[in-house]
Chain A
Amino acid sequence: MKLSSRPPAGSVKIIGGQLYRGATATSAGALEANPGLLIKNGRIAAVGPDALAQAADETLMAENCIVSPGFLDLCCNLREPGSSQKGNMSSETRAAAHGGFTSVCAAPDTSPVNDSGAVTNLIRDIAASRALVRVLPIGAVTRGLEGELLSDMAGLQKAGCVALGNASQGLRNARVLRCCMSYAQTFGLTLMFSPENQALAADGYAHDGLVTTRLGLLGIPEVAETTAVMEMILLAQETGVRLHLSQLSCARSVDMLAEARQRGIQVTADVAMHQLAFTEDALSGFDSRFHVRPPLRSERDRQALVAGVRDGVIDAIVSQHQPHESAAKQAPLAASEPGLSSIEVVLSLGLERVAANELSLPQLLRALTAGPAAVLGQSAASNADLSAGAVADLCIFNPDQHWRPGPGTLVSAGGNGPVLERSMPGVVHYTLVAGHKAWPSLLP
């Protein structure tokens, strides 16, 4: 059913549990007892005793649950158009809803590449007919993602792209990067780049460290990221563009980011959840599931990235969801395709960090809600306060209940989840998009 042409959702009353609200760029927000929450016409109609007093078409019981603004993912690969063997709009937005996400940014490396308004419109049309959550297209900053020629940035913006990026593909040189920034700045566009100096990364596919030395893997040195971070920050400062650094992996990058912010440069950043949960050790048995890009780095890097999220230096946690068909991973490590099918376990991996006292629950939730919304500025519907009038994009989950991710429970078309058959905390009971139940959802 089309998100846009659905009949208005019936009224829903949510009783019990706790509300997570009040997060801003500088505050992690807090949990408070749910006094009762009423949804009407896709929006929050009332919070408090009045909500309880009114009648509703449906009542959702949220005991032991947290009612949070729905999660927003800044980096998600939906695999449509172009790679239906890996996933499609229905399967992957359903996976997103299962993970508590109500909005996902669609990476531009589709086929065709999202480098023109026409492709953006195509993606929006597919999303309107089959997506279960909101799909926010990211446009390609260069034509064909080839890193050479500028894409029609204004056209992409007009067609509805919320930001532009290069989908982890490199740019030809610093001059092209500078021109991209300068032109994007003209239209107030946010540029999302995954910083990597391709000459230094060369043919590498794993963190250049102890594990690569022992196993003889080809390493990507830390400087492949840090030199690119520094170059991008300096060029962002000069051009005045809003720069977003995607998927940081190094401790030193977090330091440079913090310093740039102190100097007043407009730069935000995200980190993939798997970077907070795993390290280079995950590759020690040549496990191709953990072949990801940027690579999983050292424990010291992991701790610095977690600290970055804790301190709010890193604005957002992303899934960097990359579903694959099984053949893509059935190969020796170097020949396997990078990426994890991760969006359904982002919350659970995060709650494990909370259980390990590395993050507080509000810090985790901020990085999944208000943090990424602030990165997109006006483009994202902000409902951080869960106050009357806000859009009813909500995630209702029990942080203490456990589940086992596996073939029977995961709904993504990709079988390459990072955690399989292990008990994990955090079960999403309901995901509501404009008051509609996106999870649990019937199979399309």
Chain B
Amino acid sequence: MTAIATGPHHLQLTREGQLRHFLTLDGLGRELLTDILDTADSFIEVGERTIKKVPLLRGRTVVNLFFESSTRTRSTFELAAKRLSADVLNLDISTSATSKGESLADTLYNLEAMASDMFVVRHAQSGAPHFIAESVTPKVAIINAGDGRHAHPTQAMLDMLTIRQHKKTFAGLKVAIVGDVLHSRVARSQIRALNELGVAEVRVIAPGTLLPRDVEALGCTVEYDMLRGMKDLDVVIMLRLQKERMEGALLPSEGEFYRLYGLDRAKLALAKPDCIVMHPGPINRGVEIESAVADGPQSVILNQVTNGIAIRMAVMSMAMGGQLAERQQALNDMAKQEVRL
């Protein structure tokens, strides 16, 4: 047993507590999260070999379903699937079926009929992967590659892997997440993971317009003043700021945001000397982070990208394992029933 399923999130676990979809970190316990990190660790070595392949997903078909464009996340998922020896199909749905009026459900029924084993889904609407896993294609393993403002669980896990590599343990760590928390699926997943893995404090640093209501309920403290918020930090995670936020009257200007919440050398100097700097990318230099910091010695931003492949290999292989175990279980159950008949 790795985790106790709670509420609607049993959706992503088998009866034995194995992962069969990967939709959100909600409902996944520390043991399972640690399993994912350990499995990813073992895949890092694969990326360093000359032949970067393992046969875990040989003969399986993985479909990358990106309803929202993305370069980095899609390519790391593609590489991860290929290193696991899967057949990979990349579909950029935002410009194909749905523009012809086909519903999301119909698109998926068609792909399922092509005997796909796994869908990697990115969608602009929160809960879209849940909807697919629950109501559309329950026999295909669904991996959430980012849904609306809800969750980006592989990103959060690759961040955890990066933190563990640099800090060895989560106990006692003080971590800040800075910037547009309101619109960020990454921040929601990170806050959840950091709490489950047992850090000492998660702080969110942002102006009131970029924070969701009652954000403390997610398991964090709120700090409006970044100069105060940087104190004693072991890890600072910067979030990307979309230009649209100025038009939406959430912020006056990029300049004011950078002055108050941009990570420059002066602000970073207020944290612990070995504080690492993270960013889920893509970065806006001079908007949320100074170039000298992004490229500086404390930055681990490119480690995050490398770890992204290992984490995605781990999650894909584990979910496929759970999905196959479930199919086998169903066959066994059927066989038993036949014997009884």
Residues of A within 8 A of B (CB): 208-210, 212-219, 221, 284-286, 288, 327, 330-335
- From known contacts A212-B212, A217-B149, A335-B125, infer whether A330 and B103 are also in contact, taking CB-CB under 8 Å: yes
Knowing that A331-B104, A332-B126 are A-B contacts, what are 4 other residue pairs whose CB atoms are under 8 Å apart, sorted by A's residue number?
A: A213-B213, A214-B218, A284-B7, A332-B131
What distance in Å separates the Cβ of B189 from its nearest Cβ neighbour in chain A? 10
- A288–B127 Cα distance when bound, in Å, is 10
Question: Do residues B130 and A285 form an inter-chain contact, with CB atoms below 8 A?
Answer: yes
Residue in B128, B135, B185, B214 whose CB lies within 8 Å of A210 = B214
A213: which of B103, B123, B131, B212 is its contact (CB, 8 Å)?
A: B212
The answer for the CA separation of A288 and B8 in the assembled complex, in Å, is 14
A214 touches B125 (CB 8 A): no
Closest A-B pairs by Cβ, 10 of them: A285-B8, A216-B149, A286-B127, A216-B150, A332-B128, A332-B125, A213-B212, A216-B126, A334-B125, A286-B130
- Residues of B contacting A213 in the complex (Cβ-Cβ under 8 angstroms): 212-215, 217-218
How many Cβ-Cβ contacts under 8 Å join chain A to chain B? 79
Contacts of B128 in A (CB 8 A): 332
Chain A residues closer than 8 Å to B318, beta-carbon distance: none
When the two chains form their complex, are residues B125 and A219 in contact, meaning their CB atoms are under 8 A apart?
no
* B1-27 contacts to A (CB < 8 Å): 7-8, 11, 26
Nearest B-chain residue to A333, judged by Cβ = B127
Partner of B131 from the list A216, A221, A286 (CB cut-off 8 Å) is A286
* 113-171 of chain B: CB within 8 A of chain A: 123, 125-128, 130-131, 134-135, 147-151
B8, B125, B150, B214: the one contacting A209 at CB < 8 Å is B214
User: Total interface residues on B, using CB and 8 Å?
Assistant: 29
Q: Are B213 and A208 in contact (CB under 8 A)?
A: yes
Q: Residues of A contacting B11 with CB < 8 Å?
A: 285
Query: Please, how many angstroms separate the alpha-carbon atoms of A75 and B124 in the complex?
Result: 33
Instruction: Give complex CA distance A330, B103 in Å.
Output: 9
Inter-chain CA distance A216–B135, complex, in Å, is: 20
Query: How long is the Cα–Cα vector from A275 to B148 in the complex, in angstroms?
Result: 27
* CB-nearest residue of chain A to B129: A332
Question: A327 to chain B: which residues have CB within 8 Å?
Answer: 103, 105
- Contact residue among B147, B213, B215 (Cβ-Cβ distance under 8 Å from A219): B213
Chain B residue with the shortest CB-CB distance to A287: B8
- B131 with A333: CB separation less than 8 A: yes
Contact A217 B8 (CB under 8 A): no
Considering the chains assembled together, what is the distance between the CA atoms of A221 and B213 in angstroms? Answer: 9
A284, B131: Cβ atoms closer than 8 Å: no
Closest to A335 in B: B125
> In the bound complex, do residue B123 and residue A332 qualify as a contact, i.e. CB atoms below 8 Å apart?
yes
Q: A209-B214, A286-B130, A286-B131 are in contact. Are A332 and B149 (CB under 8 A)?
A: no
A222–chain B nearest beta-carbon distance, Å: 10
**Chain B 67-104 interface 0/1 with A at a Cβ cutoff of 8 Å (1 = within):** 00000000000000000000000000000000000011
Which residues on the B side are within 8 Å of A286 (C-beta)? Answer: 8, 126-127, 130-131, 134
Most chain A beta-carbon neighbours within 10 Å: one of B11, B126, B134, B150: B126
Question: With A285-B7, A285-B8, A286-B126 given, is the CB distance from A216 to B185 under 8 Å?
Answer: yes
Asked, given contacts A210-B217, A212-B212, whether A334 binds B8 with beta carbons under 8 Å apart, the answer is no
Contact assessment for A334 and B148 in the assembled complex, using a CB-CB cutoff below 8 Å:
yes
Residues of chain B in range 180-220 having any CB-CB distance to chain A below 8 Å: 185, 188, 212-215, 217-218
B149 / chain A contacts, CB cutoff of 8 Å: 216-218
25 A-B contact pairs sorted by A residue (CB < 8 Å): A212-B212, A212-B213, A213-B213, A213-B217, A214-B218, A215-B150, A216-B150, A216-B188, A217-B127, A218-B149, A219-B213, A221-B213, A284-B7, A284-B8, A285-B7, A285-B8, A286-B8, A327-B103, A327-B105, A330-B103, A331-B103, A331-B105, A332-B126, A332-B127, A334-B126
Separation of A332 and B212 alpha carbons in the complex (Å) = 21
**Complex CA–CA separation, A209 to B212 (angstroms):** 9
Least Cβ–Cβ distance between A284 and chain B, in angstroms: 6
Give the residues in chain B near A208, CB-CB below 8 Å: 213
Measured between alpha carbons, how far is A208 from B7 in the docked complex, in Å?
Answer: 21
- CA A30 – CA B188 in complex, angstroms? 52
Judge whether A217 and B126 touch: CB under 8 Å: yes
A218 CA / B147 CA spacing, docked (Å)? 13
List residues 208-256 of chain B with CB under 8 A from any CB of chain A: 212-215, 217-218
Taking CB atoms, residues of chain A closer than 8 Å to B127 are: 215, 217, 286, 332-334
Q: Which residues of B contact A212 (CB under 8 A)?
A: 212-213
Q: Nearest A residue to B248 by beta-carbon distance?
A: A202
A221 (CB) vs chain B CBs: closest residue: B213
Contact: B126 with A333, CB < 8 Å? yes
Q: Is the CB of A214 within 8 A of B213?
A: no
Q: Are A331 and B217 neighbours in the complex by a CB distance under 8 Å?
A: no
Give A216 to B11 CA distance when docked, in angstroms: 18
**A216 adjacent to B151 (CB under 8 Å):** yes
Whether B218 contacts A216 by the Cβ 8 Å rule is no
Q: Least Cβ distance of A332 to chain B in Å?
A: 4
Q: How far is the CA of A175 from the CA of B134 in the complex (A)?
A: 47
A335 to B214, CA, bound (A): 25
Cross-chain contact B213 with A209 (CB below 8 angstroms) = yes
Q: What's the minimum C-beta distance from B291 to chain A, rounded to whole angstroms?
A: 30
Which among A208, A214, A216 has the highest number of chain B CB atoms within 10 Å?
A216
Which one of A209, A215, A284, A335 has the highest number of Cβ atoms from chain B below 10 Å of its Cβ?
A: A215
CB-based contact B126/A330 at 8 Å: no
Q: How far is it, in angstroms, between the C-alpha of A152 and the C-alpha of B168 when the chains are bound?
A: 73
Among residues of A, the one whose C-beta sits closest to the C-beta of B151 is A216
Set of chain A residues within 8 Å of B103, measured between Cβ atoms: 327, 330-331
Would A332 and B104 count as touching, CB distance under 8 A? yes
List chain A residues, Cβ under 8 A from B135: 330
Residues on A with C-beta less than 8 A from B126 are: 215-218, 286, 332-334
> B132 to chain A: closest CB distance in Å?
8
A284 and B105 alpha carbons, distance in the complex (Å): 21
A331 vs B188: C-alpha distance in the bound complex, in angstroms?
A: 23
Residues of B within 8 A of A330 (CB): 103, 105, 135
Q: How far is the CB of A250 from chain B (nearest CB, A)?
A: 14
Pick the most buried of A219, A288, A327, A335: most chain B CB atoms within 10 A of its CB: A335
Closest-CB distance, B79 to chain A (whole angstroms): 27
Distance in angstroms between the alpha carbons of A379 and B218 in the assembled complex? 51
Between A214, A217, A331, the greatest number of chain B beta carbons within 10 A of the residue's beta carbon is seen for A214
